[in-house]
Chain A
């Protein structure tokens, strides 16, 4: 039986693999190899769902190849763990987050050949339009940090472009609360906004370095930090800027 710890370990292992590929290490067929070599295939597939759109970051940011085997592996992860449907147990905002994360993954999967037609957005992001309660809104945006990547654009991104202040307040709040995993993800959104040329009330570079030093060493955090590095410094390969 796959335990909670097995799932966490698999997610870390996959995050390290993606991170390595983002830094130019590793060979080909990243996702397929991750699944094939895993002792626990279910946990390995779950890890792909956990990383979501970040599975594609070596390809999007560093120009690494994305193979048909990889696309098939991502598709398998959706077969194993379908998008949760509406139920009494899931809160609406959790469903919104899950739906947008899956939208991001399937957008990229569709673009790179793993699906016949990418699905439509789950909605106009109505649950996310009101930033009055910027505290909980920014926490939800942190959960959607995998969307903060070049090559993805949609209703959530449009909201983010108009929400530099709530995002910057969310960064400040999470750093002061020493919630560094959330801070790392929100800084990633700030970096995405900077990459888009949106004016920010907060310089993202010093707070990025600050949360890097304090944010712990988990592989998934390291992956967020690496994407932020790219957004703040590297130029995206032109080929994938579709």
Chain B
């Protein structure tokens, strides 16, 4: 077995409690009334809503959570879909901003769970054929994010174009198999996202090539160690997702049990070692992302433990 039993136990606890927290606090993540496709600050509410949908979609995809959790995940998909006006808002934003990738990326988790918006589908198919869209100068790990979203939405079938996954992977920091001692915090996040998108969040472990898999397996223990030491829990959990997404998962019980032990009874996982604010809204703003990635980590590890 490649995912040890203590890891599966920790993963179940992490995923279940994280999802409960996301569900219980979903109203704090609602878009302000009157929000249109013109977002002054897309990162404030719009992006977190998309992340919540992502976590819920992966729990539903993996199907390894308990029945109550699956019902909560379904409820979160419906809540976030309603927030985006059943896709109208994503459609309007994509229509207004042809070259932006975020409407496509936010839409992908909904497609994963069978939510569709016909006009947006048509718009995305049109957009996918544009050389202008293909030529946008994205950071390599962001290009992978857009390519994976297009894969999930099915745009590759639409255009008949075969993505050069290997070439896109080579263009990233990870693709260079760089000196592992010269990584920094933001580059570590870029590295985790390269793995997330190449493997479609653990669904396609072989999406990460054998040489990059070997590289990650060699250095992931070090990166988890040093960011654990400085209590960068949000990044640590992302690194746990990376380990769980490898062809042969790297999941050390002590790492997973550390995060499970950090998790509050209500499901909150602190993003770092700083004190957690008492104000509910501030708590949501500060730690929502960490709870999202904790739910994702738990779901992927459970799926791998179940051999999926």
Query: Cβ of B218 and Cβ of A210 under 8 Å apart?
Result: no
Knowing A169-B221, A172-B219, say if A202 contacts B226 (CB, 8 Å). no
Asked if A210 contacts B181 (CB within 8 A), the reply is yes
Tell me, rounded to whole Å, the shortest Cβ–Cβ distance linking B30 to chain A. Answer: 40
- Residues of A near B225 (CB, < 8 A) are 135, 173
From A173, A203, A206, A207, give the contact of B222 (CB < 8 A): A173
Is B229's CB under 8 angstroms from A206's CB? no
Determine the residue in chain A with the shortest Cβ distance to B180.
A172
In the assembled complex, which residues on chain A have CB atoms less than 8 Å from the CB atom of B181?
171-172, 175-176, 202, 207, 210
Closest CB of chain B to A203's CB: distance in Å? Answer: 8
A176 to B179 alpha-carbon distance, docked (Å): 11
Are A176 and B221 neighbours in the complex by a CB distance under 8 Å?
no
Is A169 a contact of B229 with CB atoms below 8 Å?
no
Q: Does A177 contact B (CB under 8 A)?
A: yes
| Residues from chain A with Cβ under 8 Å of B229 in the complex | 177
Nearest CB of chain A from residue B211's CB, rounded to whole Å: 12
Chain B contact residue count (CB 8 A cutoff): 13
Given A175-B181, A202-B180: A169 touches B226 (CB 8 Å cut-off): no
Asked if B118 is at the interface (CB within 8 A of a chain A CB), the reply is: no
Q: Which residue of A lies closest to B214 (CB)?
A: A201
Q: Which residues of A contact B183 (CB under 8 A)?
A: 176
Residue of B nearest to A211 (CB): B181
Contact residues of B between 207 and 251, Cβ < 8 Å to A: 218-219, 221-223, 225-226, 229
The 30 listed contacts between A and B (C-beta, < 8 Å) are A134-B221, A135-B225, A165-B218, A168-B218, A169-B219, A169-B221, A171-B181, A172-B180, A172-B181, A172-B219, A172-B222, A173-B222, A173-B225, A173-B226, A175-B181, A175-B182, A176-B181, A176-B183, A176-B222, A176-B223, A176-B226, A177-B229, A201-B218, A202-B179, A202-B180, A203-B179, A206-B179, A207-B181, A210-B181, A210-B182
List of 3 A-B pairs having minimum Cβ-Cβ separation, nearest first? A175-B181, A172-B181, A172-B222
